[in-house]
Chains A and B, each alone.
Chain A
């Protein structure tokens, strides 16, 4: 394999993260590592009841405790916020009522954590309990004790879509299947718990360091809640130890730390305990999918009707986006000409759900790819062939107006089919061992920004200075995915210089131009394009300025870049250029209600084969191997792409086999990493994962690059479910695929056969 992609000097050559050495040696500074002179420790009091009006809060004894410098309750900062403009329903500290066990009731800042804990014990809260809603289907029937007064039946959002002529297509179908699938809630479990340090400044501004994926939204929210101009709020993202979507909206501690600092004028740091991280959640909702698919005799999909209910928890959050991704992206991987969708986002008295790797698509993909296999089995069609018969034919617009430009999905299928020995081995393995295939896809960023405007989604400023270095100023947030080094590589490639000459200042609202944040896998495409354009502009500018200077003094125009740079700097002192990116109009989707979510400038694709062994006596599953091929357009940094693919698969396997938030009578039974079982390195869910990079070279991506970090997650789960079916002939339609469920299904099957 060549070291770089043909024709490139830097692109296509694996490079470590800029702070890789610091991270693995323990030198990287995370928010919880930071201290400032006079810094106080903030702690939050959480509700012990799921749904109640707050009758009275008495904080006088807490406030009088020596060492306590500030106590804050909700009505002191009542301005509501939320990540979506249509969902400003949250206050960081509950104002009039609490909506879940773990909701925030009061907070204190004190000299030590122990004093802060003691102060919280002295806060007295009187609640008037309301009926609590824990089950989404039951919550939808609520007539009284609503979670938010302006949301009848506790329905946050309902979308109803109908494309093509679904009923006619079903009527002429050779086979129609209707199945119900269930997925429990899962959460991110990022290694670094949330932490925020907020420090009021002497000039009346505030500086906030926070473990966030979205510094610019945090800046806006703090400005809104503290009633300060945005320009007075500076948000800096230090090293972040993973987000996976859990830090892609504003979390209560970020606002609470700012409130406390404003009240006492001293820096305040809050670090969440792991339990608090679980109660902050913002993860994948529990979801019911009723899926109906009709096919012709050859397995060609004629129509799909999907209805889903997502249990969103207590607040809107990203909810409407999640439910729209579930529906709209159904059309983005296979050819579906007739599509109906009914999506409900329902409020319950549980922690709020949000965005999580593969946002909205994962549970739906489990249902769809499982059912596709069930249909293939009924028709006697090989599951791989079934998928090949239903491919999109890009470039194209889907029935719901998604623009698909590059499509490496067929090649992804070819790669994993070949590597896994599918043709030779499928159907010829001993009982208990099986192969399963599945596909998945994801957006490369949202074509429409959360706050609708035509402004750039990413801007990058690039400066050339007298030390011969180039400094990138970029708002993009590296949360461990490697977007810092990605920008350095792009700039070095364009300028034709060694990457060691390119520096980066990133994710600081006080110094860097706006980038919307690290979510929906948008950064490589959008910020990468902005960085590329900035570098192209800078190069042009350097040649222009140097040429003009030389012309003026009658000297020859420089041909060499470094010579041009020297002359340009001599002429103007410093050279600066900017690059921007906003998705093209054609990629922004249709005009129906809910059309805004799903459109993306480009889509990534994944195909996977799983090999499993099932113990029929215990129901235990061992995953022997996963072959995962991912179409990332072009791999700018192959080692980063492989890392993201393997990480996505691994996270998917956790959800497939063992992860779930366990609720009993409204109590979250496993708010910790001992009982919430993300895979460890020696698990059944941690098999050998062989990744394959497929490069479809996207026409609009930077050097052809597109999404790499999320799209591979969703395929892993149905690939395993399909492999279990292949191994022992039982179909599990509820996640996780536990030994107990498999055993029950095996028993039922035996009984039915007898």
Chain B
């Protein structure tokens, strides 16, 4: 399969980048690491006239320690996985970054790209010939959802690994915009719709991720279900971050999941369940049940919805226990 023809724009700075996005609006797309975008371009899921390469903008790279941690969107997930600073302050993020794809892909894929990842579905991530043979689908060129026929909603699943870790840590993101740059909780970035998955206008760029100092040093764990030991996107992912008092009581904690819904998300009620609790089977069961209520895996991937529900529950128990006992 060949790439569609496009012009690669290489802006020197952020204003130039925003300007290009504005000028070619509707016909331009941002490329970060490209590990997900390039295969999608070959499959003609996108065919923009212009690709805007953020690599030349040095500002967008690097991990800055200060009050909390600021990570540029173009920092590779490999750099995050290998950073002693991240490992020390935010172990759950280090674990999630290290679980992505393979070493080679991690040296290319970026944090921003991982957070803006397109949603995935077996009926969508296919060649034009393949998609034509099934009459296309709701997400691209068609009118039917093959996963939930009759429905109006796209259930393609968000499959980034870093998002649940960052959600559990209460991360915020910074977005550059021709109007006013803004900063918002990562949790508010995702829509839950498989099609318009993120709240990012065509002329905006995700530039930075801020990790709050208040989350530094939280115990954490990331559990990823996949069929292969590497390469695979998660079929279910569970991240947990915990602040424990010296007596083992949880002062504060959060639980988030990925690859089970069209968006990565915090598990509602988990924070309240964790606060002031001690580790017990009852607590783990409660968290598993809260997770079970929050997710809706469908047949978008090779693993069945039932099994992904099961593994999500098991991984919630294991992740919380491991983080607690770490």
Selected from A675, A683, A743, the residue in CB contact (under 8 A) with B302 is A675
**A662, B302: Cβ atoms closer than 8 Å:** yes
CB-CB < 8 A to B1: which residues of A?
A: 273, 275
**B133, A743: Cβ atoms closer than 8 Å:** no
CB-CB < 8 A to B303: which residues of A?
A: 740
A552 within 8 A of B: no
Give the contact stretch, choosing among A497-505, A590-598, A664-672. Answer: A664-672
From A47, A113, A682, residue with most partner B Cβ within 10 Å: A682
Selected from B129, B230, B233, the residue in CB contact (under 8 A) with A48 is B129
Beyond the given pairs A49-B133, A618-B311, A679-B228, 12 more chain A to chain B contacts, judged by CB atoms under 8 angstroms and listed by A's residue number, are A618-B310, A658-B228, A671-B126, A677-B227, A677-B228, A677-B302, A680-B102, A680-B228, A683-B228, A686-B229, A739-B311, A743-B307
Query: Could you mark each residue 665-699 of chain A with 1 if its beta carbon is under 8 Å from any beta carbon of chain B, else 0?
Result: 00101110011010111111010000000000000
B314 within 8 A of A: yes
A46 to B303, CA, bound (A): 28
Which B residues contact A (CB, under 8 angstroms)? 1-2, 5, 102, 122, 126-127, 129-130, 132-134, 227-233, 302-304, 306-307, 310-311, 314
**A667, B304: Cβ atoms closer than 8 Å:** no
CB-CB < 8 A to A49: which residues of B?
A: 133
**A275, B307: Cβ atoms closer than 8 Å:** no
A101 within 8 A of B: yes
Query: Could you mark each residue 612-644 of chain A with 1 if its beta carbon is under 8 Å from any beta carbon of chain B, else 0?
Result: 000001100000000000000000000000000
Separation in Å of the A641 CB from the closest CB of chain B? 27
A113 to B4, CA, bound (A): 11
Selected from B2, B122, B229, B232, the residue in CB contact (under 8 A) with A117 is B2
CB-CB < 8 A to A743: which residues of B?
A: 307, 310
A5 within 8 A of B: no
Given A618-B311, A680-B229: A275 touches B133 (CB 8 Å cut-off) = no
Selected from A113, A114, A275, A684, the residue in CB contact (under 8 A) with B130 is A275
Q: From residue 231 to 284 of chain A, which have CB atoms closer than 8 A to chain B?
A: 273, 275
From B132, B229, B230, B304, residue with most partner A Cβ within 10 Å: B229
Selected from B2, B134, B230, the residue in CB contact (under 8 A) with A667 is B134
CB-CB < 8 A to B133: which residues of A?
A: 47-49, 101, 667
**A682, B122: Cβ atoms closer than 8 Å:** no
**B314, A740: Cβ atoms closer than 8 Å:** no
Listed by A's residue number, 22 A-B pairs whose Cβ atoms lie within 8 Å are: A47-B133, A48-B129, A48-B132, A113-B2, A117-B2, A275-B1, A275-B129, A275-B130, A617-B314, A618-B314, A667-B130, A670-B122, A674-B231, A674-B232, A675-B302, A680-B102, A680-B230, A682-B229, A683-B230, A739-B307, A740-B307, A743-B310
CB-CB < 8 A to B307: which residues of A?
A: 739-740, 743
A677 to B301, CA, bound (A): 13
A182 to B53, CA, bound (A): 49
Selected from A675, A684, A740, the residue in CB contact (under 8 A) with B304 is A740
Count of interface residues, chain A, beta-carbon cutoff 8 Å: 32
A-B contacts counted at CB < 8 A amount to 66
A667 to B307, CA, bound (A): 22
Which A residues contact B (CB, under 8 angstroms)? 46-49, 101-102, 113-114, 117, 273, 275, 617-618, 658, 662, 667, 669-671, 674-675, 677, 679-684, 686, 739-740, 743
- Please, which residue of chain A has its CB at the minimum distance from the CB of B42? A273
A49 to B134, CA, bound (A): 9
A735 to B122, CA, bound (A): 21
- Please, which residue of chain B has its CB at the minimum distance from the CB of A112? B2
CB-CB < 8 A to B134: which residues of A?
A: 667
A667 to B136, CA, bound (A): 12
CB-CB < 8 A to A679: which residues of B?
A: 228
**A682, B230: Cβ atoms closer than 8 Å:** yes
A48 to B130, CA, bound (A): 7
Separation in Å of the B249 CB from the closest CB of chain A? 27
CB-CB < 8 A to A273: which residues of B?
A: 1, 127
- Please, which residue of chain A has its CB at the minimum distance from the CB of B310? A743
Separation in Å of the A738 CB from the closest CB of chain B? 8
Separation in Å of the A110 CB from the closest CB of chain B? 12
A117 to B129, CA, bound (A): 11
CB-CB < 8 A to B129: which residues of A?
A: 46, 48, 102, 275
**B227, A658: Cβ atoms closer than 8 Å:** yes
A670 to B130, CA, bound (A): 11
CB-CB < 8 A to A686: which residues of B?
A: 229
CB-CB < 8 A to A677: which residues of B?
A: 227-228, 232, 302
**A683, B229: Cβ atoms closer than 8 Å:** yes
**B2, A114: Cβ atoms closer than 8 Å:** yes
A114 to B306, CA, bound (A): 43
A739 to B307, CA, bound (A): 9
From B129, B134, B314, residue with most partner A Cβ within 10 Å: B129
A48 to B131, CA, bound (A): 9
A679 to B230, CA, bound (A): 9
CB-CB < 8 A to B127: which residues of A?
A: 273, 275
Q: Which 3 A-B pairs have the closest CB atoms?
A: A682-B229, A48-B133, A683-B229
A723 to B2, CA, bound (A): 45
**B231, A680: Cβ atoms closer than 8 Å:** yes
CB-CB < 8 A to B231: which residues of A?
A: 674, 680
A743 to B314, CA, bound (A): 12
Separation in Å of the A475 CB from the closest CB of chain B? 34
A683 to B129, CA, bound (A): 32
CB-CB < 8 A to B102: which residues of A?
A: 680
Separation in Å of the B144 CB from the closest CB of chain A? 12
- Please, which residue of chain B has its CB at the minimum distance from the CB of A274? B1
- Please, which residue of chain A has its CB at the minimum distance from the CB of B311? A618
CB-CB < 8 A to A667: which residues of B?
A: 130, 133-134
A686 to B230, CA, bound (A): 11
Separation in Å of the A47 CB from the closest CB of chain B? 8
- Please, which residue of chain B has its CB at the minimum distance from the CB of A117? B2
CB-CB < 8 A to A682: which residues of B?
A: 229-230
CB-CB < 8 A to A681: which residues of B?
A: 229-230
- Please, which residue of chain A has its CB at the minimum distance from the CB of B308? A740
A679 to B227, CA, bound (A): 9
A681 to B104, CA, bound (A): 13
A497 to B2, CA, bound (A): 50
CB-CB < 8 A to B306: which residues of A?
A: 740
A290 to B102, CA, bound (A): 41
Separation in Å of the B84 CB from the closest CB of chain A? 23
- Please, which residue of chain B has its CB at the minimum distance from the CB of A120? B129
Separation in Å of the A323 CB from the closest CB of chain B? 29
Selected from B2, B130, B132, B314, the residue in CB contact (under 8 A) with A671 is B130
Separation in Å of the B134 CB from the closest CB of chain A? 6
Separation in Å of the B120 CB from the closest CB of chain A? 10
A273 to B127, CA, bound (A): 10
From B102, B122, B228, B311, residue with most partner A Cβ within 10 Å: B228
A677 to B228, CA, bound (A): 7
- Please, which residue of chain B has its CB at the minimum distance from the CB of A662? B302
A273 to B42, CA, bound (A): 11
A121 to B25, CA, bound (A): 27
A674 to B228, CA, bound (A): 10
A686 to B227, CA, bound (A): 12
CB-CB < 8 A to B126: which residues of A?
A: 671
A513 to B232, CA, bound (A): 46
A675 to B122, CA, bound (A): 9
**A114, B5: Cβ atoms closer than 8 Å:** yes
CB-CB < 8 A to A117: which residues of B?
A: 2
